[in-house]
Amino acid sequence: MSLETDLLIDRRRLKRGLALWRVVAILAVFAAAAVALRDSGPARTLLGAHVARLAVTGLITEDRERDQALRDLARDGRARALIVAIDSPGGTVAGGEALHRALAEVARAKPVVAVMGGTAASAGYMIALPAQRIFAREATVTGSIGVIMQTVEFSGLMERLGISAQAITGGSLKDEPSPFRPLSPEGRAALAAVVQDLHAQFIAMVAEGRGMAEPEVRALADGRVFTGRQALAAKLVDAIGGEAEARAWLAAEKGVPADLPLRDVTAAGERRWLSRLLRDARKAVSDERLSLDGLFAVWHPSLQ
């Protein structure tokens, strides 16, 4: 027998041996899975069952990646519930509305609990409303059910400096508000109507989310803030507590095991450290105190 024939026979034997070990390995994996499924604890880990947690901090703005991650979460059977951890003074009205809608979609599919930290005011309170249970600390600052639009006007200073500004518009209210001249009565009325309509939308969200009549909400919706204890008395939150109390409630009322692991909801674009750094920088630059105008559902002491 030639040397080449011997090598060919050895190679075929080696291939048959490797194939046999591959089959053995696959059977071992299936056997391990079968054993795990007999034990509820390891089975939950194997299948990825968990409680999701979304941390909302700082200024709330629109975030398509975040909202898509929440839509994916609503369809993810491995996530048994969602805890929304809020520490925010609010943000833009549109940003709060978008996050409210995304969380409401999750709440239609699985239990959602909101846990308020130091501050959960204005849009920070708005996004807690889809939750089936809202927890706050006794010292949490919350509420601030209102909408604000701020602008600056320095026409008097410009006049003293001999500076003038001209605007050519296709509508009489197109440049309202303007930093270069005082608001006209018509412009003020038009902007006030916008703010009041947005305020009415916010009130309707509270009434629906908290099961309250709109007149009852309007009595609380003058922009004031509440402590957690005051909010509890006003029925704006359900209980005093934090994440531990939220997990206990999920276990007792929704049958979500208390020993399931927590997993943070992370948008795909935020998994890279550079993306997180750029996002935080954008938020810092776009702080509501630096804006000349805009519509915000945000709480902060008056700048005047």
Q: Just list the catalytic residues.
A: 122, 174
Residue 121 · residue 142 · CB < 8 Å: yes
255: region left, alpha or beta (phi > 0 left; psi from -120 to 50 alpha): left
Cβ-contact 96, 90 below 8 angstroms? yes
H or E element in which residue 130 lies? none
Residues with Cβ < 8 Å from 78, sequence gap 6 or more?
47, 48, 49, 50
d(Cα 22, Cα 67) in Å, to the nearest integer? 42
H or E segment to which residue 121 belongs: strand 112-121
Question: What is the C-alpha to C-alpha distance for residues 161 and 179, in angstroms, rounded to an integer?
Answer: 15
For 208-211, which contacts have Cβ atoms below 8 Å and span 24 or more sequence positions? 208/129, 209/128, 209/129, 209/130, 209/131, 210/129, 210/235, 210/236
Number of neighbours of residue 178 by Cβ within 10 angstroms: 18
**Token pair of 107, please?**
């709440």
What are 125's two structure tokens?
């309170």
Three-state secondary structure call for residue 256: coil
Q: How many CB atoms lie within 10 A of CB 31?
A: 10
Copy the structure tokens of residue 63.
């975030």
